[in-house]
Chain A
Amino acid sequence: MTEIRVKIDNVTYTAPEGVTILEIARANGVEVPTLCYHPKLSIVGACRMCVVEVAGSRGLMTACSTVAVDGMEVNTRTDAVVKSRRNVLELLLSDHPMECLTCEAAGKCSLQKYAYEYSVTGATYQAEPRDHDLDSSNPFYLRDMRMCITCGQCVRVCDEIVGASALGFSERGDRTFVGPAFGHNITDTTCVSCGSCVDFCPTTALTSTHGRNRLRTANIRKVTTTCGYCGVGCQINLLVDRNEILGVEPVEGPANDGFLCVKGKYGFNFVNHPDRLKTPLVRRNGQLVEASWDEALELVARKFSSIIDQHGRQSIMSLSSARCTNEENYLMQKLFRAVIGNNNIDHCARL
């Protein structure tokens, strides 16, 4: 592979041929703001935040879409660049509802972050917020198009990764909004409720319903673990407040590459369900009644022993579980092989 040398803000970097200015900048810790860019999605150059000056080029270039060439000289913070970015932010904020105090995305919102960094309030061209009704037809997430900055990440992730293509742009000019075609509700589309659009949204146009007004608190812990559903083994962060799971966000695991399906993203709330078994139960007079661990385990041990005594070691069997851990399956087979003394162990691998 050919190496190229590119000068960014007067520092020379080497990079492989074919990468963009943005990729070189990010790889080397040079801050270039973006709103519509995502490394896993196609490049659209829509938000105009990543504009930079390239020596010899007419006008500003978007770093996300411009492939670097050997000898290129790039400046990421000239007056024109900053002016252009500030203008973009002024305009995006001009009709953006100023609800940061109660906004679910505050603190992780890209628009808020850049507004702060570039000291832009949106007051210069202030106008009425756009008129859009909240779409709460999906049980897992809300769509508030007043908050949308039309970056299109949701449209692209739904189309390019999830393959559902449930979202698109409607209307033109500043009436442009993102939504299902023909003004349908999101539940009437090919949406598979995976929440990828929510994870990609840089503002709060798309937010999960569960955990609202709680997820922003400081005591949220993120616990990285493996999803408990199918065999793909997606890596997830459980968002935990004290002893309650409030949400799930995808982690860039080797298998899931930062994406989840509806079950992984939103199928967690069974954990808190009141139906959960909380104490051992034993059958007395035909009824299952609560018992202590000591009682229950003693009963099992006693029964197993007496059945072995009466009917031999082969008369007990275990169905282990494809939803329990390796360690638990190991122990279960060890229990049967080493303690009970048979090979009567199987599980539902075939179902």
Chain B
Amino acid sequence: MTTVQDLARIKDLQLSQRRGKRVLVGLATCGVAAGAEAIRTELLAAGEKFGLSDFAFDRTGCIGLCAYEPMMEVHRQGEAPYFYVNLTPERVREIVEEDFSGGRKLDQYILGGEPLKSQLRIALRNCGVIDPDSLEDYIAQDGYLALGTVLSTMKRPDIVDVIKRSGLRGRGGGGFPTGLKWEFTAKAPGDHKYVICNADEGDPGAFMDRSILEGDPHAVIEAMAIAAYAVGASEGYIYVRAEYPLAVDRLNRAIAQAEEMGLLGEGIMGSEFSFHLHLKLGSGAFVCGEETALIASIEGQRGMPRPRPPFPASKGLWGKPTLINNVETFANVPTIIRNGADWFAAIGTDKSKGTKVFALGGNINKTGLVEVPMGTRLREVVYDIGGGLPGGKAFKAAQTGGPSGGCIPAAHIDTPIDYDSLLAIGSMMGSGGLIVIDEHACMVDVARFFLEFTVDESCGKCPPCRVGTRRMLQVLERITAGQGTEEDIVKLKDLAEGMKLGSLCGLGQSAPNPVMSTLRYFEDEYYAHVREKRCPAGVCTAITKYWIDPEKCRGCTLCVKVCPVSAITGKVKEIHEIERDACISCGACQEKCPFDAISRR
């Protein structure tokens, strides 16, 4: 059994043992994929070689700077920490010798500027800071103090009240007030209740939840225990994708540690409260992120959504009242309990409190994970934090909310990012995917891409989504192939309305969003495709044609050589010609031509 006093003792012990010099290697999936394990091995070997016994070489979770993996953060007492980035084993040896042993910083490998500028880390507070496999490390950051506090000093309704007053809203995409969900579940009659953590992160390009689970698993466990206590549940499930093996591994370890320390199981921290937590692995169906489909999946049924009402709060897992929150939502909870509702409510905007984690991707320099206060402007995220677009290309749009979301055009780049502002401009917060699109993208093609995704991921239960997504994709394919008509655009709008009205779950209701928002802001591109049979961005190869300007062509044969399908004819010093039927519109010739003689129409 662990008490609040024990927590304080463990924290003190842990901090006192911490050495003055610490090097943290980011070992989340992205870091590992970039070779961070080899880096740490090298680091340990080099450390031993140079006898650096005063250094601790620790592992940590995701630091959030994906573009710079593998990387390590160097802490020295009394100094600002700094990052060595884009590491290779050779560089590590060099750094150990020069810096750690010799005391000379290698500035060429250090990430300049303020890497975490403009960010405010609440959900990610421990990611990249603690060793996720160490319960003591978590406790040293005041972990489980919130749980101890609620168990020893708070009444159940008071806990719900704190969450309500904090203004926390669901971070999985829906944005429903978390406190209300807790209240409904707490008040639902039932002898057995459940708490579920939705860790079925499915948006393409999103990895906020994975990073939290890999970097700070105990935060989620602690929050679930608090929630369970608050709503009167005694059993919980974390539904996590099987494609997240590292997260699963760390969660399993963390649950075992918590059970061993009496932070999970029977009579938690000496109270009457018991909470048993299980992991349930999903097999990667996007729709299982929908709460009722997720529940069906845990029950062993095919993952298909069920109509609501009844909502899970009254009839959820096995027909019992069930609280479902997303990983990031839970990750906020212990901090809110420790710092109070007012502290949290002071961050963000009027109706969107706290921070939001975004997975920044697409045509942007610093891809990675960022956490910013609600209300931060998109421009700030793209340019100040993300470092702008590569090659100085122009920002065309940002896609948020994944396949359920929409595009924010350049005209709205100063929109503050919060739930309601995004909805107002036809997008949505979603779970936090943020994909930057540059001027070379075709927006019809972007819409087609997302529809392809929903066609594959529709569960097949209700006709508007099952058949509607396919028909919509077929229309988009016609348009991008240059076979569309103006009537097709009307059909898209009609279909979108029908799907939105009739679909059973959020997947189907929001599946037309990528189409609707691109139609809203880039309608001219659609019309270029159907009226002029032209793709302005030159992405849709079927209607993109290349021409050689006989005036400019010097007959250098460079284009002839580069054409992968031998569609260009012409001898040296003769004017070249593109064979229309053979050309696949790849654009290689245009890129190669030194005389700017090849144009696209």
Question: A132-153 CB contact bits vs B (8 Å, 1 = yes)?
Answer: 0000000000000000011010
Contact (Cβ within 8 A) A150 B468:
no
Best-surrounded residue of B456, B467, B470 (most CB of chain A within 10 A): B467
Contact (Cβ within 8 A) A172 B458:
yes
User: Chain A residues with Cβ under 8 A from B470's Cβ?
Assistant: 127, 173-174
Contact (Cβ within 8 A) A48 B460:
no
Q: Which of the candidate stretches A23-31, A90-98, A307-315 sits at the interface with the other chain?
A: A90-98
- Say whether A293 faces chain B, with CB atoms less than 8 Å apart: no
Contact (Cβ within 8 A) B498 A47:
no
- Say whether A59 faces chain B, with CB atoms less than 8 Å apart: yes
Best-surrounded residue of B306, B460, B509 (most CB of chain A within 10 A): B460
A residues contacting B by CB (< 8 A) are 43-48, 51, 59-60, 62, 64-67, 80, 83-88, 90-92, 94-95, 124-125, 127, 149-150, 152, 168-169, 171-176
Contact (Cβ within 8 A) A48 B463:
yes
Chain B nearest Cβ from A180, distance in angstroms: 14
User: Chain A residues with Cβ under 8 A from B497's Cβ?
Assistant: 83, 87
Best-surrounded residue of B455, B466, B475, B491 (most CB of chain A within 10 A): B466
User: Chain B residues with Cβ under 8 A from A51's Cβ?
Assistant: 501-502
Q: Provide the bound-state CA to CA distance between A21 and B466, in Å.
A: 25
Contact (Cβ within 8 A) B460 A175:
yes
Whether A84 contacts B501 in the complex (CB less than 8 A), given A45-B306, A172-B457, comes out as yes
Chain B residues bordering chain A, tally (CB within 8 A): 36
User: Chain B residues with Cβ under 8 A from A94's Cβ?
Assistant: 467, 471
User: Chain A residues with Cβ under 8 A from B499's Cβ?
Assistant: 87
Contact (Cβ within 8 A) B463 A47:
yes
- Say whether B377 faces chain A, with CB atoms less than 8 Å apart: no
User: Chain B residues with Cβ under 8 A from A172's Cβ?
Assistant: 285, 456-460
Contact (Cβ within 8 A) B469 A174:
yes
Q: Provide the bound-state CA to CA distance between A95 and B467, in Å.
A: 9
User: Chain B residues with Cβ under 8 A from A65's Cβ?
Assistant: 307, 309
Whether A173 contacts B463 in the complex (CB less than 8 A), given A60-B501, A87-B468, comes out as no
3 closest Cβ pairs, A-B complex: A87-B498, A176-B460, A45-B307
The one of B310, B462, B495, B509 that contacts A47, using a Cβ cutoff of 8 Å: B462
Contact (Cβ within 8 A) A176 B466:
yes
Whether A91 contacts B458 in the complex (CB less than 8 A), given A60-B502, A124-B491, A168-B302, comes out as no
User: Chain B residues with Cβ under 8 A from A175's Cβ?
Assistant: 460
Q: Provide the bound-state CA to CA distance between A319 and B467, in Å.
A: 63
Chain B residue at smallest Cβ distance from A89: B463
Contact (Cβ within 8 A) A84 B498:
yes
User: Chain B residues with Cβ under 8 A from A85's Cβ?
Assistant: 502
Chain B nearest Cβ from A74, distance in angstroms: 14
Q: Provide the bound-state CA to CA distance between A95 and B466, in Å.
A: 12
Chain B residue at smallest Cβ distance from A126: B471
Contact (Cβ within 8 A) A44 B461:
yes
Within 8 A of A (CB), among B453-497: 455-464, 466-471, 474-475, 491, 494-495, 497
Whether A173 contacts B466 in the complex (CB less than 8 A), given A88-B502, A127-B474, comes out as yes
- Say whether B503 faces chain A, with CB atoms less than 8 Å apart: yes
- Say whether B504 faces chain A, with CB atoms less than 8 Å apart: yes
Chain A residue at smallest Cβ distance from B302: A169
The one of A46, A67, A87, A149 that contacts B494, using a Cβ cutoff of 8 Å: A87
User: Chain A residues with Cβ under 8 A from B504's Cβ?
Assistant: 45-46, 48, 62
Question: B288-322 CB contact bits vs A (8 Å, 1 = yes)?
Answer: 00000000000000101011011000000000000
Chain A nearest Cβ from B504, distance in angstroms: 6
List 20 A-B residue pairs with CB atoms under 8 Å apart, sorted by A's residue number: A46-B461, A47-B462, A47-B463, A60-B501, A62-B307, A66-B307, A85-B502, A87-B495, A87-B499, A88-B502, A125-B474, A125-B475, A171-B460, A172-B458, A173-B460, A173-B466, A173-B469, A175-B460, A176-B459, A176-B466
User: Chain A residues with Cβ under 8 A from B304's Cβ?
Assistant: 169
Chain A nearest Cβ from B172, distance in angstroms: 18
Chain B nearest Cβ from A323, distance in angstroms: 43
Q: Provide the bound-state CA to CA distance between A59 and B474, in Å.
A: 27
Question: B504-539 CB contact bits vs A (8 Å, 1 = yes)?
Answer: 100001000000000000000000000000000000
User: Chain B residues with Cβ under 8 A from A124's Cβ?
Assistant: 491, 494
Chain B nearest Cβ from A53, distance in angstroms: 10
The one of A67, A125, A173 that contacts B455, using a Cβ cutoff of 8 Å: A173
User: Chain A residues with Cβ under 8 A from B462's Cβ?
Assistant: 45-48
User: Chain A residues with Cβ under 8 A from B309's Cβ?
Assistant: 65-67
Question: B434-468 CB contact bits vs A (8 Å, 1 = yes)?
Answer: 00000000000000000000011111111110111
The one of B310, B460, B495 that contacts A169, using a Cβ cutoff of 8 Å: B460
Contact (Cβ within 8 A) B468 A91:
yes
Q: Provide the bound-state CA to CA distance between A280 and B250, in Å.
A: 84
User: Chain A residues with Cβ under 8 A from B509's Cβ?
Assistant: 59
Chain A nearest Cβ from B173, distance in angstroms: 16
Chain A nearest Cβ from B88, distance in angstroms: 42
Contact (Cβ within 8 A) A88 B466:
no
User: Chain A residues with Cβ under 8 A from B498's Cβ?
Assistant: 83-84, 86-88, 90-91
Q: Provide the bound-state CA to CA distance between A46 and B505, in Å.
A: 10
Whether A125 contacts B461 in the complex (CB less than 8 A), given A48-B503, A84-B501, A87-B494, comes out as no
The one of A62, A67, A92 that contacts B463, using a Cβ cutoff of 8 Å: A92
The one of A59, A64, A92 that contacts B467, using a Cβ cutoff of 8 Å: A92
